Amino acid sequence: MKKPLTLANAETATFECTFGRGCEGLCCKNGEPSATEVERLRIEAVLPRAMELMRPVARDAIEQLGWLTDEIKLGHPMVRVADEWCVFFNEGCVLHKLGAQEGDFSKYKPIQCSLFPLEPNGDGSWYVRQWDVDGEEWDLFCLNPENSAKRAAESLAPELAVAAQLPADFAWETA
């Protein structure tokens, strides 16, 4: 039986996603995820449906160059950006929407996106990215622990449920 997931900063971390309520989706503007080979195949399979929901500029970029770039991040090729936003962003993540329609928001999104802002410690435990934790470098406002009083251990329940399904030695590079 799997052990319950440990969140190292559960007592102190706060987080609240305000997408659509003040945040226009900034994590999809400068998050720049990469995709594993398994994710590449999964996204390729759903790409025709995703393309129908995309911004025209993103569709054009994909038709000309593909949705993956040659740049490597965390061991995997990065998802393309078009006009400053991830190609899969169009007033929200189209991969998220397609997965949610099938009952699982994480079904098609890269795992880096599905888990954000969770980070593995490498020993089976996780922590919530916060400006004051482990030298966090991303200046994204929602990582400021003073941005919200909501306990991350509760507000991140969907992301924690995804993390709980992963092996104890999960690492981005070997995902």
Residues 6+ apart with CB under 8 A from 58: 82, 83, 85, 87, 88, 89, 90
Residues in region 107-126 near ligand SF4 by CB under 6 A: 109-110, 113
> Is residue 145 close enough to count as binding ligand SF4 by CB under 6 A?
no
What x-and-dash track marks residues 27-46 binding ligand SF4 by CB under 6 A? -x--x-x-------------
The upper half-sphere exposure of residue 145, i.e. CA atoms within 13 Å in the direction of its Cβ, equals 15
| DSSP classification of residue 140 | -
Pick between residue 79 and residue 142 the one whose CB is nearest to ligand SF4: 79
For the CB of residue 116, give the shortest distance to ligand SF4 in the complex, in Å.
8
Among 15, 67, 89, 126, binds ligand SF4 (CB under 6 A): 89
Nearer to ligand SF4, 9 or 114 (CB): 114
- Of 25, 13, 5, the C-alpha closest to 147 is 13
How far apart (Å, rounded) are the C-alpha atoms in residues 21 and 25? Answer: 10
Among 7, 10, 50, 93, binds ligand SF4 (CB under 6 A): 93
Token pair 């971390």 is found at 13
Give the separation between CA 175 and CA 166, rounded to whole angstroms: 9
DSSP bridge partners of 23: 19
Nearer CB in complex with ligand SF4: 132/158: 158
Of the two residues 68 and 93, which places its CB atom closer to ligand SF4 in the complex?
93
Q: Return the amino acid letter for 5.
A: L
- Single-letter residue type at 159: E
Mask for 68-87, x = binds ligand SF4 (CB under 6 A)? -----------x------x-
* Residues contributing to the site for ligand SF4 (CB under 6 A): 28, 31, 33, 79, 86, 88-89, 93, 95-96, 109-110, 113
